[in-house]
Amino acid sequence: MASKLKKALTRLVDAAKHLNIDPIILERWASPKATTHARLTIQMDDGSHKHFPALRCRYDDTRGPTKGGIRYHPSVTADEVETLALLMTVKCAVVDLPFGGGKGGVQIDPHPLSKTELERLARGYVRCFAHVIGPNRDIPAPDVNTNATTMAWMADEYASIVGEWTPTVTTGKPISLGGSLGRDDATARGGYYLLQFLAKDLGFTPGARAAIQGFGNAGSHMAQLLESAGYKIVAVSDSKGAIRCPAGLDIKKLNAAKERNGGVTSFASSDGVSRIAADELVSVDCDLLVLAALEDMVHAGNAANVKAPIILELANGPITLEADEILKNRGVVILPDILANAGGVAVSHFEWVQNRQGDRWLIEDIHARLKTKMEEEGAAIWACAKDKNITLRSAAYVHALSRLVDAIEAKGT
Ligand SMILES: NC(=O)C1=CN([C@@H]2O[C@H](COP(=O)(O)OP(=O)(O)OC[C@H]3O[C@@H](n4cnc5c(N)ncnc54)[C@H](OP(=O)(O)O)[C@@H]3O)[C@@H](O)[C@H]2O)C=CC1
Ligand SMILES: O=C(O)CCC(=O)C(=O)O
């Protein structure tokens, strides 16, 4: 079976056909610039030691320091991290950030770990990769199962290694440590601004019914934003299962239930809310399907069951190549990950700039800048898709690739 990376690269190669690109230039993206592996050892609270495979990939730094999150998940492999780092390279070019693409991960299920074990894990990660990351080299951020607290521990450990507080080494930090206002909901908000902006072109009525897969940072903030804008959230899921409520879920109450009990299914005892099978989430009758969990969740086996006419990808790579084709033939419009979830890294960039300036921007400024970015890049990609009669995903790749190639040609290498 082809690796995830090989499959992901076909999207880049297809996009290149729409541009007059020298194949030699394309070859440089066939593999990452560097992937560093480590064995991460942590002491558990009972005094024992456990070892976990850990990685950091710097895929490409043509346009600037590599940038991308760190995830903790049992499925983390080099292939997965490199694929996600390739996506970061393309994503940063899509929204014109002065960054290349990177990603990191630890192969671990962090859920059973105590807070002190999680702190040792984060600090251990930085000790493994302090020679790889750096404020002008490679800048981590949160991803699946990591958050602002993780970034605080990592920045603090980096400071103790280099001997000075260096806030620009991670983004997505707590506000009290130089984190940016608006980074917490930025991934969802960027996708939300894009959706509102394209609604008319998409023939989509804002305030419709949405189903959301994944109820972590990206998914739960999206649920809140959509609910506040009058949408009905008719189904949600997390790693433990899915629930449905045709009349619309009360997101505030759902958040409280998830926080108390650790899963959205604990809300199934509330009025009008029923439990459904996890995979049923993608086939719920709705107007908008938001994918905010993991890769490959919509695949050849379930793509034909999708009822929503529009899919917003907040997750990275949630739709396989095969499913993409099925959905395209069925006329389902996909707002692709490399554009739709770029709000997270865009506000990470704002954080990095604020830290370099020693300044803090107002939330209104951050929202306005993010909105402008999503609308400008969204409009360009929409126009490219119409002009070339291609999908929004292909258009986003074309848009990014032309910026990447311009940068390479400007360097003359
Ligand atoms: N955080 C960010 O800034 C950005 C994130 N992304 C992408 O968004 C996606 C989600 O990331 P994020 O929200 O940060 O991560 P979180 O860890 O905060 O949330 C992930 C969510 O997905 C759920 N989940 C895991 N497995 C499944 C499954 N099989 N079915 C349904 N739900 C599942 C988790 O469940 P549970 O709650 O039970 O653990 C959790 O609710 C990822 O693809 C990530 O790469 C993209 C851009 C930026
Ligand atoms: O905020 C960042 O730097 C990166 C976020 C990320 O990992 C992603 O966009 O997938």
CB contact at 8 A, 351 and 183: yes
Cα 17 to Cα 12: distance, rounded to the nearest angstrom: 9
How far from chain centre, in Å, is Cα 333?
Answer: 19
Q: Is residue 401 assigned to a domain?
A: no
Q: What pLDDT shows up at residue 413?
A: 60
Cα 19 to Cα 393: distance, rounded to the nearest angstrom: 15
Q: Give the burial string for 57-85 (b: 16+ CB within 10 Å, else e).
A: bbbbbbbbbbbbbbbbbeebebebbbbbb
Mean pLDDT of 355-365: 98
Annotated ligand binding at 217? The verdict is yes
Task: Please tell me if the CB atom of residue 238 comes closer than 6 angstroms to any atom of ligand 1.
Answer: yes
Annotated ligand binding at 258? The verdict is no
> From the alpha carbon of 139, which atom of ligand 2 is closest?
3
The reply to whether 21 and 133 lie within a common domain is yes
Burial of 358 (0-12, 13-18, 19+ CB in 10 A): exposed
Secondary structure E strands in 83-207 = 100-107, 138-142
The reply to whether 66 and 170 lie within a common domain is yes
Q: What pLDDT shows up at residue 20?
A: 86
> From the alpha carbon of 218, which atom of ligand 1 is closest?
13
The verdict on ipTM greater than 0.85 is yes
Q: What pLDDT shows up at residue 207?
A: 77
What is the whole-number distance in angstroms between the Cα of residue 320 and the centre of ligand 1? Answer: 17
Domain boundary among 308, 340, 372: 340
Domain boundary among 340, 355, 386: 340
Residues in CB range of 412: below 8 A, 6 or more apart: none
Q: What is the pLDDT of residues 56-78, one digit of tens each?
A: 999 999 999 999 999 999 999 99
Domain boundary among 153, 177, 201: 177
Q: Tokens 């707002």 belong to which residue?
A: 335
What is the whole-number distance in angstroms between the Cα of residue 195 and the centre of ligand 1? Answer: 20
Task: Please tell me if the CB atom of residue 298 comes closer than 6 angstroms to any atom of ligand 1.
Answer: no
Task: Please tell me if the CB atom of residue 344 comes closer than 6 angstroms to any atom of ligand 1.
Answer: yes
| Closest Cα to atom 11 of ligand 1 | 144
For residue 112, the domain's CATH number is 3.40.50.10860
Q: Give 214's DSSP letter.
A: -
Looking at every residue in the chain, the average pLDDT score rounds to 97
Q: Which residues pair with 310 in a beta bridge?
A: 288, 333
| Edge-to-edge order in the sheet of strand 49-60 | 34-43, 49-60, 100-107, 66-73, 138-142
The DSSP code sequence of 298-329 is B-TTTGGG---SEEEE-SSS-B-HHHHHHHHH
Q: What pLDDT shows up at residue 1?
A: 67
Task: Please tell me if the CB atom of residue 171 comes closer than 6 angstroms to any atom of ligand 2.
Answer: yes
Task: Please tell me if the CB atom of residue 295 comes closer than 6 angstroms to any atom of ligand 2.
Answer: no
Question: pLDDT at residue 2 above 90?
Answer: no
Q: With the CA atoms of 215, 221, 225 and 230 taken in that order, what torsion angle do they form, in degrees rounded to the nearest 10?
A: 20
Q: What pLDDT shows up at residue 338?
A: 98
What is the model's pTM? 0.97
Full residue range of the structural domain in which residue 21 is found: 16-177
How many other C-beta atoms lie within 10 A of the C-beta of residue 389? 8
Q: Is residue 155 assigned to a domain?
A: yes
What is the whole-number distance in angstroms between the Cα of residue 213 and the centre of ligand 1? Answer: 9
The reply to whether 271 and 230 lie within a common domain is yes
Q: With the CA atoms of 362, 364, 369 and 372 taken in that order, what torsion angle do they form, in degrees rounded to the nearest 10?
A: -170
Annotated ligand binding at 386? The verdict is no
Q: What is the pLDDT of residues 310-354, one digit of tens each?
A: 999 999 999 999 999 999 999 999 999 999 999 999 999 999 999
- Count up the domains in the chain and report the number: 2
Annotated ligand binding at 91? The verdict is yes
Q: Is residue 29 assigned to a domain?
A: yes
Task: Please tell me if the CB atom of residue 36 comes closer than 6 angstroms to any atom of ligand 1.
Answer: no
What is the whole-number distance in angstroms between the Cα of residue 164 and the centre of ligand 2? Answer: 25
The reply to whether 200 and 170 lie within a common domain is no
Annotated ligand binding at 147? The verdict is no
> From the alpha carbon of 172, which atom of ligand 2 is closest?
1
**What residues act catalytically?**
103
What is the whole-number distance in angstroms between the Cα of residue 26 and the centre of ligand 1? Answer: 31
Q: What is the pLDDT of residues 170-206, one digit of tens each?
A: 999 999 999 999 999 999 999 999 999 999 999 888 7
Q: What pLDDT shows up at residue 287?
A: 96
For residue 242, the domain's CATH number is 3.40.50.720
> From the alpha carbon of 219, which atom of ligand 1 is closest?
13
Q: What pLDDT shows up at residue 291?
A: 98
The reply to whether 325 and 215 lie within a common domain is yes
Q: Is residue 389 assigned to a domain?
A: no
| Closest Cα to atom 5 of ligand 1 | 143
Question: pLDDT at residue 299 above 80?
Answer: yes
Task: Please tell me if the CB atom of residue 344 comes closer than 6 angstroms to any atom of ligand 2.
Answer: yes
How many other C-beta atoms lie within 10 A of the C-beta of residue 197? 17
Task: Please tell me if the CB atom of residue 348 comes closer than 6 angstroms to any atom of ligand 2.
Answer: yes
The reply to whether 234 and 310 lie within a common domain is yes
For residue 40, what is the enclosing H or E element?
Answer: strand 34-43
For residue 149, what is the enclosing H or E element?
Answer: helix 148-162
What is the whole-number distance in angstroms between the Cα of residue 332 and the centre of ligand 2? Answer: 26
